[in-house]
Amino acid sequence: MLKKRSLAKLIKKSIPTVLIVLLAIYIMSVGPVIAFFETPAGVPPKYRAPLENFYAPLVWTGEKSDILKELFKKYIKMCSRYNKESG
């Protein structure tokens, strides 16, 4: 069994890794989440606002960078069941 000090040190060292993994999951979740709520007509209005709020940091990032905006669009299109651009 790890001593308290060793366990605390391990937890402290693993926090940055956990945060990076959670950030990556958040970023990569946008495609599958939109695909889940998507219909042939796009994302229904009742889901659009909550999704836009949840992914607001990604929307803002896309607005500031044309390269990232295109990457997000291509990723969402790749995840789409209807193979069309969303947003």
Count the domains in the chain.
1
Write down the pTM of the prediction: 0.76
Q: Locate the DSSP E strands across the chain.
A: none
How far is Cα 63 from Cα 80, in angstroms, rounded to an integer?
21
How far is Cα 23 from Cα 29, in angstroms, rounded to an integer?
10
Which residues constitute the domain of residue 85?
Answer: 45-87
In a domain, 68, yes or no: yes
Q: Per residue of the chain (87 residues), what is the pLDDT tens digit? A: 568 788 888 888 999 999 999 999 999 999 999 999 999 998 999 999 999 999 999 999 999 999 999 999 999 999 998 865 444
In a domain, 12, yes or no: no
